[in-house]
Amino acid sequence: MIANVIAKLTGRTYAIDAGDIGYLIAKGGIPFLRGLMWSLVRLRRPSGLLLGPGIQFVQSGRLRLGRGVAIGGYGYVDCAAKDGLSLGDRVTLRERVWIQSRSGLNRRAASLTIGKRSYIGPNAVIGLGGPVVIGEDVQIGAGLTITAESHEAGPDGSFVSGAVSRKGVTIGRRCWLGNNVSILDGVTIGEGAVIGAGSVVTRSIPAFSVALGAPARVTRSIGPADQLGR
């Protein structure tokens, strides 16, 4: 019965036994109540949002949420981007996520879009500038860093006085990224690609390929059937 209620409220399906009740209350029930209160205070229709403690939102009116979104505790979510932030159904952002759309009163970033059922592990840092698009069913480990802008040297050779370029970052659907992956501005990671832990992605990665290292280099290609584990 509990599993059916959870599925109806959040779109998430779990097999639950008696030993899971305490964990469920701490990790599901209390975050659900926080999400419910957050939605009601902002006059939003409840959507099964799960919120951890100590989250700071900036301009939350620019945040669009699908069903069953989960945001772990102690995060910073700046929604001030020009086109806001959009989190699809069942997106999970784990604890201590840090999303920045602007620094002070400088130019707003473009946008952040995360597709349905995508998961981003703890301690992610997403610095917006150009548009950041993360496709559906993407799995990302802890310690992700996305930097969607780059600095160029000025006439005096200094990066402090130089210009800022904002190309954006795209991660295709069904990608798998290990822990502590860093992605720089202008990068597109194609559908189904696998990025090894600790990699620094400085250039675009083709679909259905494995890349690793700093800078990340393609080591082999994989077919869709391999990537899907069939």
Token pair 């301690």 in the structure block, residue: 123
44, two tokens: 């939003």
Q: Is 197 a catalytic residue?
A: no
- 128-138 burial, b for 16+ CB within 10 Å, e for fewer? bbbbbbbbbbb
- CB atoms closer than 10 angstroms to residue 40: 11
DSSP conformation letters of 30-69? HHHHHHHHHHHHTT------EE-SS-EEESGGGEEE-TT-
Out of 44, 67, 82, 151, which one is annotated catalytic? 151
* 8 A C-beta contact, residue 129 and residue 166: yes
Active-site positions read 151
